[in-house]
Amino acid sequence: MKLKLFFFFSFVFFINIHAQEYIFGKTISEHNDEIPDVTVINIRTDERVATNRDGHFMILGRAGDELRFVKPGFERANKKVTKENMSSPINITLIRASTLIAEVEIKKGITGDIEIDTKNLNPPRKVQKLKSDLAAYMSQPSDPRVLAARPGEFVQPKGQGFSIGKVKNKWDDVDFANYLKYALGEKYFTDLKIEKPLIEHFIYYVLSGGFERKKILKYGFCSDGDLMRFQRAVLIRVSSYRAPQTQK
């Protein structure tokens, strides 16, 4: 009898430890504006959902899971789920990604004053000669003796090199999915009877069907041929994706 009770309580404890519940939350900007269409990913289960137009989301998880929040134009954010988050909503603030402004070269215009324009447009002869001498020096080939080792100096032997491990991909599936959504446009998917909130989910569904993308993720580049290949995969997978929704 004691042995049965031990196994029973162990089973209950195992269920409680591994039980998953819905985690609720909201994504906002640094100006407290709701952010829709944010991809929320549970890193442990790889489940993905998108926030609605009010920035709210609901995803399965448990305490200890890590959630990732991704949206083009914003910096990624990660959140470790605590026990408190299981009973109260999570508020996530996303920061807009900084954009680089192209450098603008400001040139001095002609003023009409001969003395001023001569100084601005005609550099001194000494400066011109120095630039000319430097250009001539840099164009000359280097003497191999300059780079040769000195007597008694250690020289690293030339070999075949060594591996430093796997090179990290420039993209992941989230980056690729965001690019596909941007390149093809939402209308492309809605014309296929895919609702806007389900576009990203449908893209992941197509990718999970064996779509080859190793080089795309490695180099962070999707060619026109890759885009057409994805569209062909869409035509193959779209009917099976819509089937569970249309069957009664």
Q: Which helix (H) or strand (E) holds 187?
A: helix 186-190
Q: How many residues are present in the chain? A: 248
The domain ranges of the chain are: 21-94, 173-243
pLDDT band at 132 (very low <50, low <70, confident <90, very high): confident
pTM above 0.75, yes or no: no
pLDDT digits over 106-123, tens only? 566 666 665 666 666 666
The residues facing 61 across adjacent strands are 21
The position carrying tokens 């779209």 is 238
Q: What is the pLDDT of the chain when averaged over all its residues?
A: 79
Nearest to 40, CA basis, from 6, 5, 77, 10: 77
Phi, psi values for residue 56, rounded to 5°: -85, 150
Q: Give the residue from 20, 16, 56 showing the smallest Cα distance to 40.
A: 56
Give the pLDDT of residue 87: 82
Cβ atoms within 10 Å, residue 126: 8
Q: Which residues pair with 40 in a beta bridge?
A: 49, 69
Residue 205: is its pLDDT beyond 50? Answer: yes
What is 21-94's CATH number? Answer: 2.60.40.1120
Q: What is the pLDDT of residue 145?
A: 60
